Structures are given as structure tokens and as C-alpha cells.
Amino acid sequence: MLELIDAIIKTRETVADIFVKSLVNLEGNSEVEIVKKILTEIKNHNEIFPEGWYSPPPAGVAVLLDQKPFERLKYDSLRNPDFWPKENLRLEKETVGLIFFSPIDRKTNMIGDIGFTLYRGNNEEIKQHLRKAYKNILEVAKHAEVGMRFSDLCMFAINLFQDKFKITRWASISSDPNVSINIGHSVPGSFENNPTFGNTFEKIKESIRTKRVHLIGTENFYIPKTCAFTVESRLENFDNPNLPSTYFHFIVCFDNGKKTILENYSEIFKTVGMDYMNVK
């Protein structure tokens, strides 16, 4: 299983490098053009499949661009065709965006998803909002421990967001309509000795989709000594409608009890002009 954890770490590093190399000179680019840049760079990495597992959106890549009042960033699901990349929506100075990709390692079928909110403008209130969201979601990842139940980690997140951030909307990333608060999911196979996924890309994608254990308030899955899971949230401040919905994605890895949190954003932020995201 340790090989699987290594593969997750490496895949996350690979996709972060893909973003660094592809997300340059974005001014005026459309959602579709940004997706094309990412997919072009992915072709240079044979260690991952040329498309992502979370598909639709097409090829497992999501790019959303919007300006005030940021309605496009309040998507119900990235699988909804209304929120697939469009030609007529372009990145301008005060645009806020979401960029997400869901890579799969060819050798192990481990995933290394990454996603973040993009903002390159001058509004200091939005910048502070993004920094605060990043810190709070990361705090949930830091709180995770071996032996903790997913339900307890989810409740910690709910209390943290409500008490510190006063955020009251989360992305629902579960297929269960009764689950409204979902802050992540296991990396399928990461805690199995011999995980099976199928022998075609479509079967692998479906295995990943269906084998996830969701990080929700009713899930009593206990975090084992070796495993990986995502911590991700879409947070929106209802007290200030001028602020956009934000999204940041982390992966927590436990390697025989040793914990590593995969951020991989520092070089990405520099590349896209978000040096203000000094959140250490």
C-alpha cells in the first residue's frame, strides 16, 4: 500500500506542474482555451491518463469564469452541462474562476485531483476572502488523525466554518440527495492491499466514482494507518453577497501513520498572479 501513497503524492505533484506550465498568459483566454492549454500539457505526461476520472465535465477538466455577482460559481454540479467550459466567457482583470483536474496514475490507478479558486484582480476584500477560505479548509486537513471517524472530521469542519468563517454553503459532491454537507472522499484503493479497478479507462473511472467513501456527517469509516482522502469545500459567505463562492482542494495521506498534507499550490499561485496567497 505504501507504493499507492507514493503514487498519489507523485500524481498530485505532476498535475501541479501541469498547471504551472499551462496556466500562463491567461488574460483574455476563454474557459475553453484554458482547458485546451491544460490538455495540451497533459499530453507531455505519459505517467497519467490523457483525461481525468471526474468526467463529465469533458476530459475531467473544469474551468469556470465569472464576474460579480458570480452566479456561475454557484454551480450545482460540475457534471451539469450548463457549467461545462464555454467559448464566450473570458478571463479579465476582475474575473474570479475555478480550475479543476482529476488525474489518474496509469500504473496504480491512484488519483491526484487538484482544484482552486483563481483571482488576479485588485479587490482586497476578495483576496482576504480567498486566503481565509484556504486556511480554514486546510485546518480541517490538519485536524485529521489516524483512528478518527469521517463523521467526526466532518462535524469539526462544520463547526469551524460556521464559527470562524460564517460560511453556510457547501458543495454537495455526493450522489445522495439527502447529503448536503460533504467535505471530501477517500482515494479509492489507497487503503487496500490489492485494489481492482477494471481493465479499461471507462471501467477505471467508474470504479473510482463508485468506490469513494464520502467524508460526511453520517459516515463511520475510521481513518486507517495507511490511506489517502481529499479535503475540499466550496464556501460562500452569505453575509456579503459581493464575495464569490470559493473552492480549494487538498489531499491527506497517511503512510503507516505518518501524515502528509498535499497542497502543491505555491508555484501555481505565482504563475497565475496570486502572490497574495501567502497562507503559511
Which residues neighbour 205 within 8 Å (Cβ) at sequence distance 6 or greater? 53, 55, 104
Range of the domain at 88: 4-277
Which residues neighbour 270 within 8 Å (Cβ) at sequence distance 6 or greater? none
Residue type, 74: K
Task: Looking at mean pLDDT, say which of 109-113, 165-169, 191-195, 244-248 comes out highest.
Answer: 109-113
- ∠ CA 217-222-225, rounded to 5°: 140
Tell me the pLDDT band of 77, cut-offs 50, 70 and 90.
confident
Q: Beta-strand (E) ranges in 48-93? A: 61-66
Check whether 173 has a pLDDT greater than 60. no
Average pLDDT over residues 121-141: 95
| CATH assignment at residue 227 | 3.90.230.10
Which residues neighbour 200 within 8 Å (Cβ) at sequence distance 6 or greater? none
The set of cell numbers assigned to 149 is: 471517524
The set of cell numbers assigned to 151 is: 463523521
Compute the chain's Rg from CA coordinates.
Answer: 18
In the chain, how many domains are there?
A: 1
Please, how many CA atoms are within 13 Å of residue 200, restricted to the half-sphere of its CB? 3
pTM (2 d.p.): 0.94
The set of cell numbers assigned to 1 is: 500500500
> 83-97 burial string, b = 16+ CB within 10 Å, else e?
bbbeeebbbeeebbb
pLDDT at 234: 87
> pLDDT tens across 217-245, in order?
889 999 999 999 999 998 888 778 789 99
Phi and psi torsions of 95, nearest 5°? -75, 140
Phi and psi torsions of 236, nearest 5°? -135, 135
Residue type, 175: S
